[in-house]
C-alpha cells in the first residue's frame, strides 16, 4: 500500500512539468486524478502507523531521529542542490520546507499531536473542522502549515478509525467491483476539469486568499476535493493486494524513493529533458511513467536504502540519552 502510494507520488512529480503545458490534456487529467487521492492515502497510512505513539521517551527519540533530523538534513540538501542547479545563492531556511520535505515536517507535527486526538470524543469531526477553518487563515509556506492543517483529517482517520473496519476494506469484493467504474468516472471528470480548475486546489497548501477565492467557494471546493480523496482513497485501499509479495519489503523502505527522486527530476528539468518532442507523444509519456515507476522501485531496494541509511535515520547518540 505504501509502496504503491510512493510510486504514484514519484510519477506525479515527473508528470508535472508536462502537465502544466497546454496540449497535454490527457496527462494533465491523469495528474489531477492522482493528486486527488495519492497524498490523502499517504497521510492516512502515516496515521495508521502512528496509532501506538504515546510520546514515550523512546518514541520521541525515534521521532527526532527518524523524522525531524531527516527533515532538517534533506531540506538543507535539496535546497542547496536546487540553488546549485539554478546557479543561485543558497539561503538556508529550516522553517520553510523545500518541495517534498514538507511531508516530514507535517508528519512530525501530526505525530506529536497523536495523543491529543486519542483523548477527544470526536477526533475526526474536530480535525475536519480544523482543516476547514484553515481556509480563513493567511497560510504561508513556513512550517508547512497549510498542508499540515488541510490534510489533518486523513491523518486522524488513519490514527483513530476502528482497526477491524479499516482492515476489512482491503480486498473487499464490493469495493473492488466498484473501483473500476468509479475511477473511470473520476478520470473523465478530471479531463473535464483540466481547463476549469487549477491543480493548486489538490495541493492543499493554500487558503482562500492564496487561491484567489471567496471563503464560501473555498469551503465548497475543499470539501469536494477531500471527499473525492476519501472515496478514491478507500477504493485504492480495496485494490491493494492483501497477500504479501516481493513488493512488501520495498514498501517499508519507501522513504528513500520519496526523498531522492526530486534530485533526479530536477536534474532532468534543468538539463532540458522536457524540451523538444521526445516526451510530448503518448509513447514518450508512457515511457516517462514507466521510468519514474522503475526509479521509485529501484530507490526502495535494500542496496540503495543501506547506502542512504545514515541520511534517512541519522544517529543522534550525542544528543539523545539511551
**Helix residue ranges, H only, 194-301:** 215-239, 248-251, 254-270, 282-299
Question: Which residues lie below 8 Å from residue 27, measured CB to CB, with a gap of 6+?
Answer: 15, 18, 19, 285
Residue 320 lies in a domain: no
Q: What is the pLDDT of residue 21?
A: 84
DSSP string spanning 12-73?
Answer: HHHHHHHHTSTT-HHHHHHHHHHHHHHHHHHHHHHHHTTTT----HHHHHHHIIIIIHHHHH
Q: How many domains does the chain have?
A: 1
Query: How many C-beta atoms lie closer than 10 Å to residue 167's C-beta?
Result: 12
Confidence of residue 322 (pLDDT cuts 50, 70, 90): low
> Mind listing the pLDDT tens digit for each residue in 249-265?
787 789 999 999 999 99
> Mind listing the pLDDT tens digit for each residue in 20-70?
888 899 999 999 999 999 999 999 999 999 999 999 999 999 999 999 999
DSSP type of residue 228: H
Q: What is the pLDDT of residue 177?
A: 96
- For residue 293, give its domain range: 2-312
CA 138/CA 223 separation, integer angstroms: 19
What are the grid coordinates assigned to 304, written together? Answer: 540503495
Residue 319 lies in a domain: no
Q: What is the pLDDT of residue 318?
A: 65
Average pLDDT over residues 200-229: 96
Q: What is the pTM of this model?
A: 0.95
Q: What is the pLDDT of residue 170?
A: 86
Residue 212 lies in a domain: yes
Residue 307 lies in a domain: yes
Residue listed under C-alpha cell 509556506 = 141
Question: Which residues lie below 8 Å from residue 252, measured CB to CB, with a gap of 6+?
Answer: 2
- Contact (Cβ atoms closer than 8 angstroms) between residue 295 and residue 257: yes
Residue 19 lies in a domain: yes
How far is CA 79 from each of CA 1, 13, 85, 200, 235, rounded to the nearest angstrom?
29, 17, 10, 22, 36
Residue 317 lies in a domain: no
Amino acid at each position: 500500500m505504501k509502496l504503491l502510494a510512493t510510486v504514484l507520488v514519484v510519477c506525479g512529480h515527473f508528470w508535472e512539468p508536462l502537465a502544466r503545458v497546454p496540449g497535454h490534456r490527457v496527462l494533465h487529467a491523469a495528474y489531477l486524478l492522482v493528486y486527488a487521492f495519492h497524498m490523502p492515502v499517504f497521510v492516512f497510512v502515516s496515521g495508521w502507523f502512528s496509532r501506538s505513539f504515546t510520546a514515550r521517551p523512546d518514541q520521541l527519540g525515534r521521532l527526532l531521529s527518524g523524522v525531524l533530523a531527516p527533515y532538517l538534513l534533506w531540506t538543507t540538501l535539496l535546497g542547496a542542490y536546487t540553488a546549485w542547479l539554478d546557479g543561485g545563492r543558497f539561503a538556508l531556511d529550516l522553517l520553510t520546507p523545500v518541495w517534498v520535505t514538507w511531508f516530514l515536517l507535517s508528519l512530525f507535527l501530526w505525530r506529536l499531536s497523536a495523543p491529543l486526538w486519542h483523548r477527544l470524543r470526536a477526533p475526526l469531526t474536530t480535525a475536519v473542522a480544523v482543516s476547514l477553518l484553515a481556509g480563513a487563515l493567511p497560510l504561508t509556506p513556513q512550517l508547512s502549515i497549510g498542508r499540515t492543517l488541510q490534510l489533518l483529517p486523513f491523518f486522524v482517520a488513519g490514527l483513530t478509525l476502528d482497526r477491524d473496519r479499516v482492515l476489512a476494506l482491503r480486498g473487499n469484493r464490493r469495493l473492488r467491483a466498484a473501483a473500476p467504474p468509479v475511477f473511470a468516472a473520476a478520470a473523465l471528470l478530471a479531463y473535464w476539469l483540466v481547463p476549469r480548475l487549477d491543480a493548486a486546489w489538490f495541493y492543499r497548501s493554500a487558503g482562500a486568499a492564496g487561491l484567489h477565492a471567496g471563503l464560501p467557494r473555498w469551503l465548497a471546493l475543499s470539501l469536494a476535493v477531500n471527499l473525492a480523496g476519501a472515496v478514491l482513497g478507500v477504493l485504492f485501499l480495496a485494490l491493494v493486494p492483501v497477500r504479501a509479495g516481493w513488493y512488501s519489503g520495498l514498501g517499508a523502505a519507501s522513504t528513500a524513493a520519496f526523498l531522492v527522486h526530486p534530485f533526479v527530476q530536477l536534474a532532468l528539468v534543468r538539463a532540458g529533458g522536457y524540451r523538444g518532442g521526445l516526451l510530448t507523444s503518448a509513447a514518450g509519456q508512457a515511457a516517462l511513467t514507466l521510468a519514474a515507476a522503475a526509479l521509485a522501485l529501484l530507490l526502495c531496494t535494500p542496496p540503495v536504502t543501506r547506502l542512504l541509511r545514515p541520511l534517512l535515520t541519522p544517529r543522534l547518540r550525542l544528543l539523545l540519552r539511551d
